[in-house]
């Protein structure tokens, strides 16, 4: 569902995000995995990092079996250097 990263100018991880689930999804579960991911810096010196993987945290949502409809969860993301972000993730689950 999402990714969190904080990279140095040389594309190494400056800090690894600490993600806390503030409100769990009502119709599924979410998992946070530290792994190598592609960043998505829009501009600036770090946008060169977008073409290679760096250590970060990915969020994976899994709906309950048979569920379709809307779901959401809330997380608090901190980077250990003072930056804290509260994020609401809205999900539309469809049947295949």
Q: Tokens at residue 87, please?
A: 């994020």
Q: What percent of the chain has pLDDT over 90?
A: 75
C-beta atoms surrounding 27 within 10 Å: 16
Per-residue three-class SS string for 62-74: EECCCCCEEEEEE
Predicted confidence band at 94 (pLDDT cuts at 50, 70, 90)? Answer: very high
Evaluate if residue 4 carries a pLDDT over 80.
yes
- For residue 2, what pLDDT is reported? 82
Q: What value does the mean pLDDT take over residues 85-95? A: 94
- Mean pLDDT value across the chain: 92
Better pLDDT: 2 or 56: 56
pLDDT at residue 64 is higher than 80: yes
């Amino acid at each position: 569902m999402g990714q969190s990263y904080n990279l140095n100018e040389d594309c190494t991880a400056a800090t690894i995000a600490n993600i806390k689930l503030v409100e769990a999804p009502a119709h599924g579960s979410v998992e946070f995995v530290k792994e190598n991911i592609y960043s998505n810096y829009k501009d600036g010196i770090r946008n060169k990092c977008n073409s290679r993987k760096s250590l970060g945290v990915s969020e994976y949502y899994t709906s309950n079996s048979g569920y379709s409809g809307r779901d959401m969860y809330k997380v608090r993301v901190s980077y250990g250097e003072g930056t804290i972000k509260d994020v609401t993730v809205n999900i539309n689950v469809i049947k295949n």
